[in-house]
Amino acid sequence: MVVDQLPFPPRNGVTLPTFHYADGLRKSCRLNLVLMADEAQPFDQRSLAENEAIFGPIPVIRVRRKRKMVRAIDEVLARDMFNQGWELASAPPSLMNCKADVLLASPFSAAAKWEATGLSRPEHFVCRIAAVSDCTAAEYHARHSQDFGSFRQWLKGRLDRVRSSRIASVEGRTLAKYQHVSMQTATDRNLMRLLVGERIAERVTLVPNGVRRDYFEVCPNPESNTCAFIAELSSEYASIADWLVGEVWPAVVDELPDAKLLIVGKGASAALGAAIRNARNVEHITFVDDLRSVYANAAAAICPVFKGYGLINKALESMASGVPVIGGEAAFNGIEGFKVGIHGLVCRPRNTPEFVSAICHVLTHREQAAQVGRAGRSLIESQFRWERAVGTIEAMISGRQRVDV
């Protein structure tokens, strides 16, 4: 199993599935984890030791980025992606021309790094699975919809959309070497079909993430006035957080002076950090060891996600905890049977009045909010189980899952 982030602890959209896949598969397979590490960003040796205590010895392959000009030319010529232009720096001798029954690469970036090393050919593996979760070309194609504020962001979003056709060519060529491609939502499979091609889409099996079972045991505080926003603040959610504390929350506090916003996430810039500190009734915590404590004291979870692809783990966890979720339609991607107003509250992208109204409604209509929380929990519990996800991967390995070649 080839990964590019250490699976434990499972804290983000990459490590959640890689940890649970590895943890589940090691019970039925002789699992060997391989870490693809960026030479420019040394990993923590203590974290490696923690993972080896769980999964056994983890050999490390070090890769380095190609020069910027080379990566730019490669992308223009659709030979490689600028962000995935890697070359081998070093590898343990044991991995030279290695062979195994199964190759499982998770996520796509790990598959791209493995491809760049040239260490093994597809025929060295009986079964080849790429657990990519999302469509990479779709991510670039949809970035213009995430534009939030500056002209620079607006321009970058449109340039990324132009780049998406080149990204799709590289993505298709990389995934063509895998018999199985697992993705998390039907939306992503459709985007794969439209942007990358039917040949790859035919290999896609939907493998939605699960939710930790102890989230379903959370009992939200019915008297809480706190709304939670949980996100990595150095990425695409930085501008969303700035909008939330600069426009949405001041209007909420004007209407409900006791309302509080808790932001959980690291990576905020100096400017965003200052905006958060200066906002009324806003608390910022960079890290929480167990998010159940946040959900237990949340009246609502705010998920202003507008990207239109991918499964949003924080929305799943919030709903599993019985907390009503307020978000864009994309926050509920991949949740079958979801009904607006029944399982969660949906607002249009960047629509400040709608988000303010929804937040105030939840904080002033407690019983109705509790009903939404209970309905959301029931919906998630029926669909998102890690054992089901691992079982689907095991079916691919055993040949019970259809293989397109």
Q: Where are the alpha helices (DSSP H) in 106-204?
A: 108-117, 136-141, 151-175, 186-195, 198-201
CA 6 vs CA 9, 36, 42, 313: distances in Å: 8, 9, 12, 18
* Range from 20-29, 72-81, 111-120, 139-148 carrying the lowest mean pLDDT: 139-148
Mean pLDDT in residue range 47-72? 96
pLDDT in tens, 158-209: 888 899 999 999 999 999 999 999 999 999 999 999 999 999 999 999 999 9
Pair 119, 144: CB distance under 8 Å: no
* Range from 10-19, 255-264, 338-347, 353-362 carrying the lowest mean pLDDT: 10-19
Amino acid 399: pLDDT: 83
Pair 200, 192: CB distance under 8 Å: yes
**Whole-number Å distance between alpha carbons of 30 and 352:** 52
* DSSP symbols for 309-337: -S--HHHHHHHHTT--EEE-GGGGTT-TT
**Helices 352-364/366-381 angle, 10° precision:** 100
Amino acid 403: pLDDT: 40
Percentage of residues in the chain having pLDDT higher than 90: 80
Residue 235, pLDDT > 80, answer no
Pair 218, 295: CB distance under 8 Å: yes
**Whole-number Å distance between alpha carbons of 67 and 76:** 15
Pair 377, 320: CB distance under 8 Å: yes
Select from 239, 247, 229 the least CA-distant residue to 315.
229
User: Mean pLDDT score of the chain, rounded to an integer?
Assistant: 92
Amino acid 308: pLDDT: 74
Select from 88, 71, 237 the least CA-distant residue to 167.
71
Percentage of residues in the chain having pLDDT higher than 70: 97
Residue 268: count of CB within 10 angstroms of its CB: 23
Select from 284, 280, 276 the least CA-distant residue to 250.
280
Amino acid 123: pLDDT: 73
**Whole-number Å distance between alpha carbons of 275 and 360:** 22
pLDDT in tens, 267-317: 999 999 999 999 999 999 999 989 999 999 999 999 998 877 788 999 999
Residue 364, pLDDT > 90, answer yes
Structural fold of domain 213-381: Rossmann fold (3.40.50)
Kindly report the CATH number that applies to the domain delimited by 2-210+385-398: 3.40.50.2000
Residue 107, pLDDT > 90, answer yes
Residue 57, pLDDT > 70, answer yes
Q: Which strands make up the sheet holding 300-303, listed edge to edge?
A: 282-285, 260-264, 226-230, 300-303, 325-327, 345-346
Three-state SS annotation for 189-226:
HHHHHHHCCHHHHCCEEECCCCCCHHHHHCCCCCCCCE
Q: How confident is the model at residue 97 (pLDDT cuts 50, 70, 90)?
A: confident
Residue 404, pLDDT > 60, answer no
Domain boundaries, the chain: 2-210+385-398, 213-381
Is 2-210+385-398's fold the same as 213-381's? yes
pLDDT in tens, 140-168: 988 766 655 567 777 888 888 899 999 99
**Whole-number Å distance between alpha carbons of 35 and 49:** 13
Element (H, E) at 374: helix 366-381
Q: How confident is the model at residue 11 (pLDDT cuts 50, 70, 90)?
A: confident
